[in-house]
Structure 1
Amino acid sequence: MKRVIALIGSQRKKETYDAVLNFGEYLTSHGGIEFETIFLHDYNLGFCTGCKLCFDKGEEYCPLKDDRDLLIEKISRSDGVIFASPNYAFHVSARMKNLFDRLAFIFHRPRFWGKACMSIVAQGIFGGNKIVKYLNSMGENLGFHTSRGCVLQTLEPTTEAMRRKNDREIQRAATAFYKALMCSTLPPSIFRLMMFRISRTKIRMMLNEEYRDFRYYQEHGWFESDYYYETSLGLLKKVMGSFFDFIGRKTTV
């Protein structure tokens, strides 16, 4: 049984919520899927103060005592996550953005390997494709492998033709996500390999054991590994990895 959660950034149970429910129906029709919807507004999530304690000392030192760790636990216990948001001023909703702000320390120390993520964006006219790209980038930075998202046109009044088109988009997205959900961890792209190798080089050269990032990399053997998790890079990526290590050293001052 695969467990999938949908993190919903909208305030109301309208277009975004309806799209998530529709997506869940298509996804669970494949069998072996447990699907749960989670409204972010049901959780107490304070605004990041920028103190950097989560980066430097560890996330347990965050001065905000709220539901952040509860949401992290829900994500950790899932096999897949849907990020669902309306298009607000050509971006995700404030609640969704705040979630990523509060998870920023995981961008430094990714952990959600082997999990799939996807995005659903409901909008009036345009801008949704850039939001999907943003959400996919956030998922990758957290450690997920991503599936194609979907952008739904929900301008009111919604026509029957628009509803049918949205339904087709949701169905296609659910099928693609199911395939991603069944995949094992994939080899990294050149870009992700570059990000890892340059970041770890800078952490090794600029920090020490006083910093949580440094200790985390030590504990997980990342200073010696090819990538965050065990994978076969192939000759080209091994050569590129060494080159990115070199770039990391040269650009560290």
Structure 2
Amino acid sequence: MRIGIVIGTGHGMDGTTGSLVRELLDRIGAHVDQVRTEIVGTDDLGLGPSCPACLACMTAGEQACPNYDRTAAARRLLDDSDLVVFATPVHSFHVSASMKRFVDHFAYLIHRPAHLGKPAVLLSTAAGAGHDAALGYLKTAVRRWGFHTVAQLGVNGPGLRKPAYRAKVDAALDEIAGTAVEAVTSGTEPTPTTADLIGFRVARLLVRNTTENGPVDEAYWRERGWFDAEWFTDTKVPFVANKIAALVEGRIRAGIEKGSADPYRG
């Protein structure tokens, strides 16, 4: 099994987050004869203070990104792995800054998902709270890239010194390892949810409305037949969820055409 690790901390595999990843890998190794791992540290990619937001990856293709060469190792990892583990410390109730930069530099995958059906595991560590925001953000982001999250775990670092909490983390890691292996070996893609189907339709709408400025996206979708599909793959789409997604799409389309969409006010 080929496992890719994207770890969002300058401590790499030596800190609390890296230790949690290693513990998961050890447990996966107990289920699989051979495990090959590849690790990319987001701090080591040299992506600069932030994504330049030039949109070149959207309009001209990912190779037009000024940091394209710096993300080469990460692209190979995402492409070649059977399972990808995304791990981040929680910084100020969110993912680390370098993990956020990493996600931003793969924004084109929101328009051109390339990892459909591939399982992901999400891990976070914190001295306090924030796992919900950090893991929730990662789950949403990688889902738009095509990944489906099969398990997630947020761990309180100081709590690991307490036997009762440590036992709960160990039990969770045991369960996650089995789930991850099953996800890879079965190759089963989960049924798309209502949110997934809405995301598909909104992405399709955006690609259709920006063909003049985004011919790369249009060609990608047209080549795969997605303009005439109900989902990215042949997985059966739930009838009711699809109808709800269609209604939402219609309202969004009308709002865009009439300019009547409301600004966000919380």
TM over 0.5: yes
**C-alpha separation in 1, matches of 2:80 and 2:142:** 16
1:109 matched to 2:112: yes
After superposition, the C-alpha distances for 1:190-227 in whole angstroms (9 at most, x for unaligned) are 11111111321242244337532222212221111121
Identify which of 47, 60, 63 aligns with 2:63. Answer: 60
**C-alpha separation in 1, matches of 2:45 and 2:253:** 42
Matches for 1:35-50 after TM superposition, within 5 Å:
35-38=36-39, 39-46=41-48, 47-50=50-53
Matches for 1:164-175 after TM superposition, within 5 Å:
164-175=167-178
**8 Å contact kept, 1:198–1:247:** no
1:226 matched to 2:227: no
**C-alpha separation in 1, matches of 2:222 and 2:7:** 35
**8 Å contact kept, 1:8–1:37:** no
Alpha-carbon offset, residue 188 of structure 1: 1.2
**C-alpha separation in 1, matches of 2:149 and 2:253:** 30
1:76 matched to 2:79: yes
Alpha-carbon offset, residue 66 of structure 1: 3.3
1:197 matched to 2:201: yes
**Structure 2: segments with no counterpart, 5+ residues:** 258-266
**8 Å contact kept, 1:190–1:237:** yes
SS at match of 1:152: strand
Match of 1:187 in 2: 191
Match of 2:3 in 1: 4
Letter in 1 for 2:45: Y
Residues 158 and 190 of structure 1: CA distance in aligned 2, closer, same or farther (over 3 Å) = same
**C-alpha separation in 2, matches of 1:122 and 1:79:** 24
**8 Å contact kept, 1:197–1:248:** no
Match of 1:25 in 2: 26
Superposed CA RMSD: 2.2
Identify which of 115, 135, 140 aligns with 1:137. Answer: 140
SS at match of 1:5: strand
SS at match of 1:19: helix
After superposition, the C-alpha distances for 1:214-246 in whole angstroms (9 at most, x for unaligned) are 222122211111211222224334544543453
Between the two proteins, the alignment pairs up a number of residues equal to 252
Residues 156 and 30 of structure 1: CA distance in aligned 2, closer, same or farther (over 3 Å) = closer
Alpha-carbon offset, residue 184 of structure 1: 1.7
- Aligned sequence identity (%): 26
